[in-house]
Structure 1
Amino acid sequence: MVTSIRGNSAELTTPNGEEVETVTVQLDDLILVAEFRDRIYPGLRPDGSVERRDDRPFHSVITGENFHALALLTFTHEQAVDVIYIDPPYNSGASDWKYNNNYVAEDDLYRHSKWLAFIERRLKLARRLLRRDGTLVVTIDEHEVSRLGVLLSQLFPESTVQLVTIVNNPKGVTQEYLSRVEEYAYFVFGPEAQLGSVDDDLLTHRDIDESGGDGEVQRPRWKGLLRSGDDSLRVNRKDMFYPVWFDESTGRLDHAGDPLPWGEVPFFEKKNGLTPIWPIRRDLQEGRWGVGKDTLNLLIKQGFAAVGRFDKKRNTWAVSYLSRQVRDDLALGLLQVLSANEATGVADVAYVVTAARRIRTVWHRSSHDAGAHGTDLIRSLLGSGRGFPFPKSLYAVEDTLRPLVIGKRDAVVLDFFAGSGTTAHALMRLNRQDGGKRKSILVTNNEVSATEQESLRATGFRPGDTEWERLGICDLITKPRIQAAIAGSTSKGEPVNGDYKFVDEFPMSEGFEENAAFFTLTYESPWRVSTDRAFSAIAPMLWLRAGAVGRRIDSISDGWDVADSYGIINDLDRASEFIAALVAVEGLRIAFIVTDDEGRYQQVANEIPGVETVRLYEDYLRNCEMTGDF
């Protein structure tokens, strides 16, 4: 609120919890929105789209203040969102993008309470959007993790809150005494939430044999017994150079013999009908085995060692075994012995069925490296010179969402701290994997980095100027990234280099058969709304509420219109035509009736069976009062 004006400067006060913050700004930077106590209402201005398939819904990207955008969504998506995934500012004091870390000054004595107030107001609105069987995920680091946990428990008393530790930077960042390699994610499961089954618990060893298998059975990869790499010669470990005896007629390993004394030459003659196998390397040097004699004998007895193919060059056979990591997973119940070969005695070991696996609360996967699969991936999509600090790994977000939406192919996922747009990108990959039609709603501001702000102001530019806005996070990163991901080409029309990895590997240049629409948040007066003068700003919201699919109705100058999933009428004298058009559309979801007469609204609504009806603009005004206590 403007409290005083002196010359070319204005003094503003902003409530922040019980405190009031005061700041001085240039008068030219102020825009008249409303007088004190006036109510303002959010609207949307279309800013383009990218479309590749007519029968799929649209991902939506809204540029603007996320608190106001959340208020808007209480009209379009109250209790209709399946998953909310957010990566809010960590309050670490970094000064990159405003929503990343630098919401409160590092030396502010009340920085933690101010951050909590900032998050709390938004989470209260988010709570209104989440379905009872939905899940909220909030990522955070050590700066606010403990305080956030208390806040979530208070705001969601009926939900189950669990904390996950994610290794996102294996190289580590040195901070005081220890090197930090992780961040955290709170999962807030609604009272009716269900977690889908996946085939990876995201922690334990998952070295899959890609050679094939029966149906859905997945088997671990067997490790070669011949040591490779450092210290792999006989001279390095003389006690690891011993014969492995087996029966050529059955392929059964019999036992591991004693180590050959140093200086003696290995022999290849059979003894007692058994053939010796020696650790001879491909360069014909004398190597060594990867495990000791006693360990191998135990593995042979358990059926965890096997003979492979004969190698003419080395004049010996290959031997493989189950590594210690795989055997540990077997002991934990992550694998099972299906059977044993009658001739060879080798065990058939496979991972337990998908339904029996549970995701762990510690995640350690190379695919979650934020550098390789976040920063580098964005560079591939946008080209050099368009960096984004601390992006999430695409595959970490994908792994987060997968168990939450695996059984909901039409799920709605909301991210109101969207940053670079990783959430929408991950959802597109999930849709491609199972043919789903899930859609995301992203909200991000167009904040310019602190360094660029100083440079722009020094040259006379202000927020709203083209030169300023083009460097904002949405225009520079979010929007181009989503466009490039869908189209498979950069803003210059060049194919995106590189391949997607993990689970579903394919060239990035293929893109996705998805659609996305972009909007900018606007502010409308109640008079313009109630008198039908702000329809263009309300129109995208009606389309969002109807499912963000098909054609959008941007004008009702003819009195009514019916699109793929909804219809709108403001000339009730033509209700019969309107209702006939509604009935003719299969799968129509909702009808909006514009009138300030409750009686006439009910009359028309009663003649539209089986379709949700909404009265405009009364319902909208009631839901989106911006000065209410959310």
Structure 2
Amino acid sequence: MSNEDSNNKSQSEKKFNAIEYLNYLISESNNPSDIEKLEKISKMLNSKKYGLVWEEHPEKVEEEMKSKIPVFLENKCKKIHDSDSEDFNFLLEGDNLHSLHLLEKTHLGKIDVIYIDPPYNTGNKDFKYNDSFVDEDDKFRHSKWLSFMERRLKIAKKLLSENGVIFISIDNKEGYQLKLLLDEIFGYKNMAADLHVETSAVAGPRRFAAMNGSVVKTTEFVFAYSNGNTQIIKRPLYDSVLGYDTHYSKFDDTDKGIINLSDKINSELKIKNEFLNAHLKVDMPSLNKLIQVNSTVKNWIYSEDISKRIFRIGDKLNSVNSEDLSTLSSHHVKRLNNKYVILNKNNNPVSIFRYYDRIGTADDYFNSYGERTLRGNLWKGFSSDGGNLSSEGGVKFKNGKKPKRLIKQLIETCTSGKETNVNVLDFFAGSGTTAESVMELNNENKGNYRFILANNDEVIDTTYQRMVNINKEVPMNLKYFKTDFIDKNTDDLETKLLSNIKALVELKHGVDLNRSDIAIVNKRDDLNKLDLSKISTIYMRSQTHKMLNRELLKELVDIDIIDIPETFFAMEMKEAGL
């Protein structure tokens, strides 16, 4: 081989990205016309664009599906059946792309809440692509991650119900790229929230970094997207507020009418003495200080009898008719059209706000009772959960364990609690926090939830152990499925596919087909083997159901027949010519 041929071969074997390859072609070309065209293409590729542009990377698990069909096999040894309910949850072992592919057959448009905590791609052995960890020196580090996430998120969107919500935890390593990717997949108008969750404090080594001039990261993102309805809050959350809002300075006294709150305090000798003993004047700024440290004052202010008569003055009302106006007074508060109203000194109606409606139990780490405010996109205080995080679920998990309180609140706030069988999916299940969150919400009577977890075989033992631990506290029903494969070129493909429909039926309906009163019928011969007197429900292929004669249909009249979709393996059978 000549040196020239050798050089050409070495050049052709180099791995180029698109722009590098164009530059290589330009350098090698001797044709001015070709060079001009190539330079034009290069300029177009280098021109500024809005949105994500990245180098696509093939993935082994996706390539595998070109020759093999993923199916689920049940590991019956790991089945848990301790709940009084007959509804089942599911733990899916295998690459989550395969699991999502199968869920696309069973749960298209049926998942109400998705929570995922994907690899953050820190370069510290947290993200594996094609069986190799992606380190921080990999020049395709971000494009591999985006290729990985895009495939899974596109399926996730299909799984979401009409009013479903997906929550994704991420930090600033990939957060900004993820935001653009989510905009492309779900539509930028369907972003419901960019939550900023306080996950750590400026303490320990972080404190030294901060003192030396670094801006220390204490929050992470949780992005929320929907399929169209971005008003996702069904049950609002509250944050506690320290001190006393001094705008609430009026008191509706039964005998004296509207007076200053400080006058009411002066008339209560026990409460007044608390101020005097603290060497404070009886006024609103002093109340703000004292209520934070003095339980006597705090309990008095928060008591129903007192707090319901403390008010702050609001805005003038212009829509009060003359009849209602005649009933109003400047001396006492009146409830009018769902508002509290009094007359001001000019005899104009003004709205006022009741202090009682400002206090309640907050959704913070301590469930504090007192003043609170509606939570926005800043979710504070989850660094407090860190102290117990390692012990949550009774399992250790090296990286990425999320606070149970966080996931419980995400699920709770976007569901009303009145829905039946809310399907919650986590396909980066990690230690299984989502499952425990779901079971605790059920146990607290905050809703009716079922979970599906998907995890790879590297951490699945940890996930399953947490299910065992949860079951000791809150009994559950769980089926454990593992991904297996059927070769597309096998001779008996249809028979093998039909034998694997049972797992998909169980997954779709959240049931256990091993119950004696439930049966699955793929072919008419299966029906002949059944003692119909003991059967309450039959899951039957639509094709088989249509072929039954009148006599058989009469025998089945008292049995609940549920169709098995022909779409479960329709595409695979069509490709095989079946």
Query: Shorter-chain-normalised TM-score: which range?
Result: 0.5 to 0.7
Q: Which residue of 2 aligns with 1:613?
A: 563
In the alignment, what sits opposite 2:184?
A: 154
User: Are positions 1:374 and 2:389 aligned together?
Assistant: yes
Which structure 1 residue ranges, 5 or more long, are not aligned? 1-12, 24-30, 208-219, 223-251, 258-271, 281-285, 310-316, 341-346, 448-472, 488-510, 554-560
Compared with structure 1, are the counterparts of its residues 542 and 338 closer, same or farther at alpha carbon in structure 2 (3 Å cutoff)? same
State the distance in 2 between where 1:422 and 1:373 align: 13
Deviations 1:274-318 (A, max 9, x none): 8995569xxxxx9634x5555458889xxx99x997xxxxxxx99
State whether residues 45 and 537 of structure 1, in contact with CA within 8 Å, keep that contact through their aligned partners in structure 2.
no
Task: Give 1:126 deviation, angstroms.
Answer: 1.1
Aligned-partner Cα distance in 1 for 2:397–2:450 = 26
Q: How does 1:89-128 map to 2 (within 5 A)?
A: 89-96=119-126, 98=128, 104-128=134-158
Asked if structure 2 preserves the Cα contact closer than 8 Å seen for 1:164 and 1:363, the reply is yes
Q: 1:338 to 1:396 in 2, by over 3 A?
A: farther
Spell out, residue by residue over 1:59-96, the C-alpha distance to the aligned partner (whole angstroms, 9 max, x if none). Answer: 21111100011001111111111111110111111225
Structure 2 residue aligned with 1:365, among 375, 381, 384? Answer: 381
- 2: CA distance, partners of 1:120 / 1:45: 29
Please give the per-residue CA displacement for 1:459-508, whole angstroms capped at 9, x wherever unaligned: xxxxxxxxxxxxxx111x21111110111xxxxxxxxxxxxxxxxxxxxx
Partner deviation per Cα, 1:405-462 (whole Å, 9 max, x = no partner): 3332410111000000000100001101117441100001122xxxxxxxxxxxxxxx
Match of 1:542 among 505, 520, 531: 505
Provide the C-alpha distance between the structure 1 equivalents of 2:564 and 2:229, rounded to a whole number of angstroms: 27
In structure 2, what is the Cα distance between the partners aligned to 1:164 and 1:474?
29
What is the distance in 1 between the residues matched to 2:70 and 2:264?
A: 80
2:317 corresponds in structure 1 to none
Pick aligned residue for 2:485 from 516, 523, 528: 523
**TM-score for both structures, normalised by structure 1:** 0.58
SS of residue matched to 1:620? coil
Question: 2:262·2:283 contact (CA, 8 Å) conserved in 1?
Answer: no
CA contact (8 A) 1:370 1:391 kept: no
RMSD of the TM alignment (CA)? Answer: 5.1
Q: 2:221 maps to what in 1?
A: 184
SS at match of 1:427: helix
Whole-angstrom CA distance in 1 between matches of 2:457 and 2:359: 47
Stretches of structure 2 that go unaligned for 5 or more consecutive residues are: 1-14, 18-53, 247-260, 315-337, 343-353, 362-371
- Choose from 157, 171, 196 the match for 1:165: 196
Between the two proteins, the alignment pairs up a number of residues equal to 444
Bigger helix share = 2
Task: State the SS of the aligned residue for 1:619.
Answer: coil
Match of 1:602 in 2: 546
1:55·1:550 contact (CA, 8 Å) conserved in 2?
no
**Counterpart position of 1:532:** 495
How far has the Cα of 1:360 moved from its partner? 1.2
Instruction: Give the drift of 1:118.
Output: 0.6
**Match in the other structure for 2:102:** 72
Aligned partners of 2:517, 2:527: CA distance in 1, in Å? 12
How far residue 402 of structure 1 moved from its aligned partner, in angstroms, is 0.3
Aligned AA (1:399): Q
Instruction: Note if 1:349 corresponds to 2:339.
Output: no
1:514 pairs with 2:476: yes
When residues 352 and 601 of structure 1 are mapped into structure 2, their CA distance, relative to the original with a 3 A threshold, is: same
Q: Is the 8 A contact 1:160 1:190 kept in 2?
A: no
Alignment of structure 1 residues 300-339 onto 2, 5 Å: none
Residues 379-390 of structure 1 aligned to structure 2 (within 5 Å): 381-382=394-395, 386-390=396-400
- Partner amino acid for 1:51? H
Identity of aligned residues (%): 23
What secondary structure sits across from 2:85 in the alignment?
coil
Offset at residue 144 of structure 1 (A) = 1.2
- Residues in 2 aligned to 1:593 and 1:87: alpha-carbon distance in whole angstroms: 37
The one-letter code of the counterpart of 2:376 is: R
Inter-partner Cα distance in structure 1 for 2:360 and 2:299: 28
Instruction: Indicate which of 169, 173, 194 corresponds to 1:139.
Output: 169
Letter in structure 2 aligned against 1:593: R
Task: Give distance in 1, aligned partners of 2:410 and 2:158.
Answer: 22
CA separation of 1:166/1:20 partners in 2, compared to 1, >3 Å: closer, same or farther?
Answer: closer
TM-score normalized by structure 2? Answer: 0.63
> Partners of 2:268 and 2:158 in 1: how far apart?
76
Letter of the aligned partner of 2:404 in structure 1?
A: L
Q: CA deviation at 1:254?
A: 4.2
Q: Is the 8 A contact 2:521 2:541 kept in 1?
A: yes
| Counterparts of 1:36 and 1:73, CA distance in 2 | 15
Out of 564, 568, 573, which is 2:520 matched to?
A: 568
The equivalent of 1:474 in structure 2 is: 460
Pairing partner for 1:38 from 67, 71, 74: 67
Alpha-carbon distance in 2 for matches of 1:439, 1:350: 34
Native 8 Å contact 1:279 1:287 kept in 2? yes
Q: Report matched runs for 1:54-73 at 5 Å.
A: 54-73=84-103
Pair 1:581–1:113, CA change in 2 (3 A): farther
SS in 2 for 1:89: coil
AA aligned to 1:200 is L
Decide whether aligned partners of structure 1 residues 551 and 358 sit closer, same or farther in structure 2, where only a CA change above 3 A counts: farther
Change (3 A) 1:626 1:481: farther
**What amino acid sits opposite 2:547 in the alignment?**
Q
Q: State the secondary structure of the residue aligned to 2:237.
A: coil
Give the Å deviation of 1:255. 8.5
CA distance 1:178–1:627, shift in 2 (3 Å): farther
Asked if structure 2 preserves the Cα contact closer than 8 Å seen for 1:34 and 1:40, the reply is no
Aligned to 1:244: none
Mean Cα displacement is larger for which, 170-179 or 417-426? 170-179
Which of 566, 570, 577 is the equivalent residue of 1:622? 570
C-alpha distance in structure 2 between counterparts of 1:441 and 1:521, whole Å: 14
* Structure-2 residue corresponding to 1:593: 541
Q: Are positions 1:205 and 2:155 aligned together?
A: no
Q: Is the 8 A contact 1:74 1:624 kept in 2?
A: no
Distance 1:277 1:474, change over 3 A: same
* d(CA) in 2 for partners of 1:87, 1:534: 32
Distance 1:113 1:166 in 2: 26
TM superposition shift of 1:37:
4.8
CA distance in 1, matches of 2:428, 2:55: 25
Secondary structure of 2:569's aligned partner: helix
Equivalent residues in 2 for 1:244-259, closer than 5 Å: 254=263
**Distance change (3 Å), C-alpha of 1:408 and 1:177:** same
The CA deviation at 1:348 is 5.7
* Structure 1 letter corresponding to 2:521: I
1:407 is aligned with what amino acid? Answer: K
Alignment of 1:422-461 (within 5 A): 422-434=433-445, 436-447=447-458
1:391 equivalent in structure 2:
401
CA distance in 1, matches of 2:268, 2:220: 59
